Structure 1
Amino acid sequence: MSLPLDLPELSIGTVAEGIVRRSVLPSGLRILSEHIPGSRSATIGYWVAAGSRDEPGREGDVPSRHGSTHFLEHLLFKGTPTRTALDIAVSFDSVGGEHNAVTSKEYTCYYAKVRDADLPMAITVLSDMVTSSLIDPKEFETERGVILEELAMAEDDPGDVVGEQLFAAVLGAHPLGRPVGGTPDAIREVTRDAVWRHFKAAYRPNDLVVAAAGAVDHDELVAAVTASLAHSEWDLSTPATPAPRRSSAPTLLAPGEAVRVVSKPTEQASVMVGLPGIVASDERRTTMAVLNSVLGGGMSSRLFQEIRERRGLAYSVYSYAPSYSDAGLFTMYAGCTPGREGAVTELMLDELRRLASDGITADELARAHGQLSGSAALALEDSDTRMSRLGRSELTLGEFVDLDESVRRLNGVTADDVRELADTISSGTVSIAAVGPIADDAFREVVAA
């Protein structure tokens, strides 16, 4: 189902007698729901299309806003004119609910999962948080310390560090190359006023998408969200069109750095190999899912079988393909004994190139079809996944794809499709990131090849 921004109402039936509906209100606010028959709980998310890539740097005397998006994720739980941080926590804890938030490179989502009877409460509290956060100066400084602790914790995780280094290596100066959580320097330097300006610029009715899945009635959801927002300072009376989606035209990336190494006294070397991938809306995204499944998506994948099972060179080895509106990556990861990182990197690249030259077998294709269709069906047993699918569909893709259509697209992927995409990916510029006690010449032969 296409999701045009100028269509006020949409409805579609899904598998298992579910119903997906969408309303675009005069203020530009978009509300989507998926009713799941028999469910006694619901997950609701308030999505804003503002991520770490949207933070402007310093402009003249105007301070940088880098780190503001992640800062806001924390601060919106710290209180409003009518609720303290404790009030917000008690609201969900007292009904056994879950509430949290996630910041990404292109969006922020504040969400809750509650019993059906408690959904009105969740709507009221989340609406208050998203529209009326105080961003209190004292709380701001307290949370600055919390975020710095969070970043320090991530810095102690080689997997986190190597991932950030790879994004920076492949994407370079592109805003997607910046860490989602900000850097310690950015968090120390950003001001409360800069974060406040970011809040006011990005959190408006026509920027907001509310998505809910589970035991939810769409008309009641629209009424409850509208009523809760009416008590905020937001102007819902002025007509506005929904904020346009990001351009899906691929960005022409500059050639990435060949190697980025962070020297740390770890027991293992964490190595990632990355190449430019495809954008989120690319028609080949289903083919990419099959490619990833065959190469590094499970215990039967080529990387796992060759590097772990046959050679015993790594415990953890896999691939994945993150994609965004205008850029994407294809990445491979392995954790190995220091001194083996060069050989393991060569093996990962060899497997990708062999897939590009020789293609995949009929058995591998059938196994990938089964793995992906099965995991998709199992994931949709959870209202969290269904809610997230609605939010990402509205913000990023501009289309809703149900399970039957996903399976149909999977079954349409051929071995030739996979080989052609692998050939395209493997011909891109290779970047390597590594964390651990890495020798200076560890990747000399790989880079030379």
Structure 2
Amino acid sequence: MTATVSTPGAGASAPAPGVLRSELPGGIRLVTETVPGVRSVSLGIWIGIGSRDETPEQAGAAHFLEHLLFKGTQRRSASGIAEEIDAVGGELNAFTAKEHTCYYAQVLDTDVALAVDLLADVVTDARLAHADTELERGVVLEEIAMRDDDPEDLLGELFDAALFGDHPLGLPIVGSEESIRAMSRETLHAFWRSEYTTPRMVVAAAGNLDHAHLAELAGAALAAAAERTGPGVVPVPPRRGGAHPAGGGDRLVLHSDDTEQAHLLLGVPGVDRHDPRRQALAVLNTALGGGLSSRLFQQVREQRGLAYSVYSAAASYADAGSLSVYAGCAPERLGEVVGVVRDVLSDVAANGLTTAELVRAQGSLRGGLVLASEDTASRMNRIGRSELDHGRQRSLSESLDRIAGVTADEVSAVARELLARPLTAAVVGPFDEVGDLPAALRELAD
């Protein structure tokens, strides 16, 4: 096994101390960060494939696979996998997103070889037996049912569907009950073999580790998968889109449910993750609804007592994004909540943030970034996503400097542009039809 070792990513304007990058055979990328003073290692195998890469017939396949691959490999049974990780007190799990999937483990530094072998075995040499497919189909269907019973989870999917329309970003990660019931083992196997290729893989690790040793372990564990890919391949570059996905969905969607609260998501298209304004948007989002001192929390909860939970969120993908506001309130107060939220958004669009809000938001983001770096799992997630999404590593100092460098004018500019866009809203609550919703929401459907 040979590997090319480099410093933290081509084009990095500042080194990331402790981070090294290698390219292994098969186009596999390895990024590691040494964390002094810990006795653990967090390790992940990232695949640059998510729910947005599925065809209609494959809807939910990436998430289904996340479950199914743990049901057994050619060398291990499902119970054997669980017993091996439990025997060392480790954690083994996975998650699926719209643009990537990650299989990860956290173990003592003395057990890193086991973690590498387990993850590689699960990701590249699973059995995908027919019996296991049927068994796990029921588990995924239960997860969909659980999602439908959680208003906030369901609300997020409704909002994405309304904002992105028929674009794959608007589809639920878990698929639908219909697509999962119809999913064959052959469809899942074909998706796995065609999409889980080594040029799309990033192995990321953080903790008490040696980069060269981990390169040897990962290269050996993934050698068979690299051979299937063939010689001379290079890593798949970071995903980039062209034009932002057009909308096309309804600007107002309602899911009628007998809930005690009305749950609201109100928002606009945002910026993609390659947009240079994303730091200004992060500051704007934090000032709007990112903490106890945020404009929305103060106006909606503290000053008027209209909702217990109110916050904003920004999401960024390769070619699109969103900025949204969530609030949960008594159904009869939904109209007042919508009015206050819209007033806050309009005021920020017109007048920007105060100096105090700007400084607090920057301090909150900087503090959160530093605190998140205190554990190996967060560091592994940071370097894995950075490699997959950007093909480079940014040092913590550089990230902190970028946040501190955001100006009031930059925040005002992004607020004026984004908050002038037409609003999209999703509601889950005890309303029979759209006509029962407050006028401030009904006008979105006109």
TM-score with structure 2 setting the length: 0.94
- Partner residue in 1 for 2:5: 9
How far did residue 189 of structure 1 move?
A: 0.9
State the alpha-carbon separation in 1 of the partners of residues 262 and 306 from structure 2.
11
One-letter amino acid of the counterpart of residue 264, structure 1: D
Give the number of equivalent residue pairs.
Answer: 437
Give 3-state SS (helix, strand or coil) of 2:26's partner: coil
The one of 391, 396, 410 aligned to 1:403? 396
State the alpha-carbon separation in 2 of the partners of residues 89 and 75 from structure 1.
14
Asked if the contact 1:280/1:323 (under 8 Å) is kept, the reply is yes
How far did residue 435 of structure 1 move?
A: 0.4
State the alpha-carbon separation in 2 of the partners of residues 144 and 199 from structure 1.
16
Give 3-state SS (helix, strand or coil) of 2:339's partner: helix
Give yes or no for the alignment of 1:290 onto 2:283. Answer: yes
Equivalences for residues 40-439 of structure 1 within 5 A: 40-57=39-56, 64-230=57-223, 234-235=227-228, 238-438=231-431
How far did residue 282 of structure 1 move?
A: 1.1
Q: Deviations over 1:59-109 (max 9, x none)?
A: xxxxx1111101100011010110000111111111111110000000000
How far did residue 232 of structure 1 move?
A: 5.6
Give 3-state SS (helix, strand or coil) of 2:118's partner: helix
Gaps of 5+ in 2: none
State the alpha-carbon separation in 2 of the partners of residues 433 and 235 from structure 1.
45
Give yes or no for the alignment of 1:448 onto 2:417. Answer: no
Give 3-state SS (helix, strand or coil) of 1:70's partner: helix
State the alpha-carbon separation in 2 of the partners of residues 8 and 178 from structure 1.
38
State the alpha-carbon separation in 2 of the partners of residues 367 and 66 from structure 1.
42
Give 3-state SS (helix, strand or coil) of 2:209's partner: coil
Give 3-state SS (helix, strand or coil) of 1:180's partner: coil
Give 3-state SS (helix, strand or coil) of 1:113's partner: strand
How far did residue 438 of structure 1 move?
A: 2.4
How far did residue 234 of structure 1 move?
A: 4.4
TM-score with structure 1 setting the length: 0.94
- Partner residue in 2 for 1:61: none
State the alpha-carbon separation in 1 of the partners of residues 200 and 115 from structure 2.
20
Q: Deviations over 1:274-306 (max 9, x none)?
A: 210000121111111100110000010010000
How far did residue 236 of structure 1 move?
A: 6.5
Give 3-state SS (helix, strand or coil) of 2:22's partner: strand
Q: Between the two proteins, what is the percent identity of the paired residues? A: 45
Q: Deviations over 1:15-46 (max 9, x none)?
A: 99941011112421111100111221010000
Cα distance 1:353–1:128, how it changes in 2: closer, same or farther (>3 A)? same
State the alpha-carbon separation in 2 of the partners of residues 411 and 256 from structure 1.
37
State the alpha-carbon separation in 1 of the partners of residues 414 and 122 from structure 2.
44
Q: Deviations over 1:310-344 (max 9, x none)?
A: 11100000000011001101110000001221221
Cα distance 1:11–1:336, how it changes in 2: closer, same or farther (>3 A)? same
Give 3-state SS (helix, strand or coil) of 1:71's partner: helix
Gaps of 5+ in 1: 1-6, 58-63
RMSD of aligned Cα (Å): 1.9
One-letter amino acid of the counterpart of residue 5, structure 2: E
| Higher helix proportion (structure 1 or 2) | 2
Give 3-state SS (helix, strand or coil) of 1:27's partner: helix
State the alpha-carbon separation in 2 of the partners of residues 48 and 443 from structure 1.
44
State the alpha-carbon separation in 1 of the partners of residues 245 and 144 from structure 2.
30
- Partner residue in 2 for 1:21: 20
- Partner residue in 2 for 1:60: none
State the alpha-carbon separation in 2 of the partners of residues 268 and 120 from structure 1.
49
State the alpha-carbon separation in 2 of the partners of residues 256 and 17 from structure 1.
42
